[in-house]
Amino acid sequence: MRQAGRSLPEYRAVRGEGSILDAIGKPELAAEITLQPVRRYGVDAAILYSDIVVPVAAIGFGVDVAPGVGPVVAEPFHSKDDLRRLRPLEPAIDTPYVLETVRIVAGELDVPLIGFAGAPFTVASYLVEGRPSRTYAKTKALMKGDPSTWHALVDTLAELALASLRSQIEAGASAVQLFDSWAGALSPADYERYVLPASRRIFEGLADTGVPRLHFGVGTGELLGLMAAAGADVVGVDWRVPLDVAAQRVGPDKAVQGNLDPAVCLAPWDVVEAETRAVLRAGAAAPGHVFNLGHGVFPETDPDVLKRVVEVVHGEHG
Amino acid sequence: MRQAGRSLPEYRAVRGEGSILDAIGKPELAAEITLQPVRRYGVDAAILYSDIVVPVAAIGFGVDVAPGVGPVVAEPFHSKDDLRRLRPLEPAIDTPYVLETVRIVAGELDVPLIGFAGAPFTVASYLVEGRPSRTYAKTKALMKGDPSTWHALVDTLAELALASLRSQIEAGASAVQLFDSWAGALSPADYERYVLPASRRIFEGLADTGVPRLHFGVGTGELLGLMAAAGADVVGVDWRVPLDVAAQRVGPDKAVQGNLDPAVCLAPWDVVEAETRAVLRAGAAAPGHVFNLGHGVFPETDPDVLKRVVEVVHGEHG
């Protein structure tokens, strides 16, 4: 469950104020935050506490994550000249704290740790827009108006993600999840042309590691087949697409992950239980289904409800 | 083209500051704003300058539209008791300015005027959330936690929309568009259970008028068939769904409207032209296709680009 910590009092107690990047930069703290949902909920895997802008921030692009806002960029990416502001990531030097966090967590967990990286499109959208966007107008204008610069940008971001994920695997992550949270803003044609090749670089570059490769986005109903084709083994599905439909779209030999609406967790328990069971029933028809929420946990969610959802998934009720 | 005025200097010159509700309340001004895009672009229909909260504001629910924010509600809808704050709309008394605007515009236009109303789900989401939302958490909690209150709410909002649209038709509108802009936040199962019956009330209540009934939303890929089943004759499609796929989903005897990504209009002209032609080609395989953007016009769009898009659609280039 992504962003599960936000609902936990023990998270708020240790997290403090300020940028998430500060917390990510402290391995003991980041490891503790990664472990909290596993302890509290008994989930079957942990996801590294991180942020999609960690690598670009680490190489000095001038990105921060403003509390209550999201990623903000002091000088957004405008044109070809800005490519010079990006360089390859050397994980051991640029993000040693990430590797230390992975080592601590992997040493303490008896369930798999899923490594974390942002996908090229979504990271690029923050660099270009300079802050969270609802329209991605500048991002789309760049990709369509100057495709060669766009491709250079997303290819560079793909190399950053690949380097980060490989280093996380070496440090002990036993699966990876690539977050293309906002790819759903694109048409299938644009995704295939401007995004898929860069994301494929990452998945193909991880093939030799043998770890499961998960791919996440929201509002990606029409992109599920393409996200699978990019090389993901497991494709995240939000609640907008029924799991049987999603399983058809990702095709054989691929699994789907999802798709309980996190808003459901704010309803009375009988509703939550019924909808959790409905997801499990639908998932039974989707080979390799991984139960999850369809998006991040809402901060106002009652942790006890999430605990009971996990229990239902584990067959501990009725 | 929805919200086409936002890109026009002549709109900004007459619109002034303040709530859109003030401008809507002045028939001469609202008529002028409705007519501006038709004069400038030569489009084949006008859409009434309005807002989805006009009826609920008119019956005194305490709604305003804050510039740069959107609809804000002083005391949001919390529970069953709030139903008392809603009453039927008497268009001639509550919204005489809307009818006067329709009469002025219909008298001046030689293309059809499309009437305007907000659909029950999207209007309800503003009443419940109190302001624009990305998650619709409170709305979903109400619909799932207290379905009888929810159904009473959306049925009441359906009656408001129906009364408003019927009065607009009587005043001279020759088609109607029902805006369920944010219905795409829902799963198909939730849409079918909690939204479709209320929207169907509106479409069925207009059947005897014989006017074309358009239905609009974004991110509604999985809902297109249900939106058609609710009784729309034409279903809006955003750029996320290819038009041939959309045509299959809405089924026979229904038309699709869309679906150029408004972000494309910020790209160089050769890109805009190519993507406009691609929409026309895809639309040729979708019976009764109505060309449109897939969402509202971005304010930063160059009006000359939109003018040329219309010319391409009208076959005036190559």
Tally Cβ neighbours within 10 Å of residue B91: 20
Chain B CA closest to residue A134: B134
Query: For chain B, which domains are there?
Result: 9-236 (3.20.20.210)
Q: Which residues, including other chains, have CB under 8 Å from residue A74's CB and lie 6 or more apart?
A: A62, A63, A64
pTM of the entire predicted model: 0.95
Mean pLDDT of the B2-10 span: 88
pLDDT tens per residue, range A224-272? 999 999 999 999 999 999 999 999 999 999 999 999 999 999 999 999 9
Considering B11, B49, B126, B136, which one is annotated as catalytic? B126
Phi-psi label, residue A269: left if phi above 0, alpha if psi -120 to 50, beta otherwise: alpha
Place of tokens 């019976």: B287
- What are residue B41's DSSP bridge partners? none
Residues of A classed as catalytic: 2, 6, 15, 51, 126
> Would you say A223 and A184 are in contact if contact means Cβ atoms under 8 Å apart?
yes
Considering B40, B41, B49, B51, which one is annotated as catalytic? B51
ipTM: 0.93
pLDDT tens per residue, range A127-173? 999 999 989 999 999 999 999 999 999 999 999 999 999 999 999 99
Chain A: residues touching B (Cβ < 8 Å): 135-138, 140-141, 144-145, 184, 186-190, 219, 221-222, 239-242, 245, 261-264, 266-268, 271, 275, 278, 298, 300
CA separation for the pair A112, A172 (Å, rounded)? 9
Is residue A307 within a helix (H) or strand (E), and if so which, with residue range?
helix A303-313
* Residue B1 vs residue A18, higher pLDDT: A18
Please confirm whether the linkage preceding B292 is cis (ω < 30° from 0). Answer: no
Question: Are A144 and B264 inside 8 Å of each other by CB?
Answer: yes
Place of tokens 């041939």: B244
Q: Which sign, positive or negative, has the C-alpha torsion B83, B87, B91, B97?
A: negative
Task: Give how far A76 is from chain B: nearest CA, Å.
Answer: 18
pLDDT at B316 over 90: no
CA separation for the pair A162, A199 (Å, rounded)? 9
pLDDT tens per residue, range B88-116? 999 999 999 999 999 999 999 999 999 99
CA B163 to centroid of chain Cα atoms: 16
Q: Which of A266, A268, A275 sits opposite B137 (nearest CB)?
A: A266
